[in-house]
Copies of this chain bind each other. A is one copy, B any other.
Amino acid sequence: MNIGDVSTRTGLPAKTIRYYEDIDLIKPLRDDNGYRRFRDQDVHKLNFLGRARALGFTIEDCRTLLALYEDETRASADVKRVARDHLAQIETKIADLKAMRDTLSHLVDACAGDDRPDCPILQDLGGKS
C-alpha cells in the first residue's frame, strides 16, 4: 500500500505519516522506485497513533505506549501510569480553561457591545482598580 491509500484508510495526512516515519514511530518498507510500502502492521500502528493522539497523548507518550503495546511482557501498571499522568494534565488544563472562561464570560456579559467606547473588558485588562 502506498502512502495515499494509508492516508485514506487511517485518516492521517500523508505529511503526518511521513513525519511519523521521520521520528521513527513507524518503519515502512521501500519499493524499488523509492515509494514507501506500508504493511498491515504499519497501518495498524498508525491507527493506534491516531487514536492515542486524538486522546491528547504527546508523541513521546505515544512512543512509550506503542512500545508497551508491542511488549507482550509489559505490566499494565506502566500503561496505567502514563494514562493517569496524562489524565491529570488534562484535568489541569480543563481547570485553567474554565477559570479563563468564567472570567471572560463575566466580562463579555458586562460589555454593552455597542458603538460607545466604554468597555469593562478593557477596564479589566487595563487594571481597572
Give the chain B neighbours of A68 by CB distance below 8 A: 119, 122
- For this chain, the copies found in one complex come to 2
Residue in B76, B98, B108, B121 whose beta carbon sits within 8 Å of that of A117 in the complex: B76
Give the chain B neighbours of A94 by CB distance below 8 A: 94, 97-98, 101
Q: Are A125 and B52 in contact (CB under 8 A)?
A: yes
Q: Which of A74-129 contact B (CB under 8 A)?
A: 74-77, 79-81, 83-84, 86-87, 90-91, 93-94, 97-98, 100-101, 103-105, 107-108, 111-119, 121-122, 124-127
A51 and chain B: residue at smallest CB distance: B125
Can you name 24 A-B residue pairings with CB atoms under 8 Å?
A51-B127, A55-B100, A55-B103, A69-B122, A73-B117, A74-B117, A75-B114, A76-B114, A76-B115, A76-B116, A77-B113, A77-B114, A79-B121, A80-B108, A81-B113, A83-B104, A83-B107, A83-B121, A84-B108, A87-B101, A87-B104, A87-B108, A90-B100, A90-B104
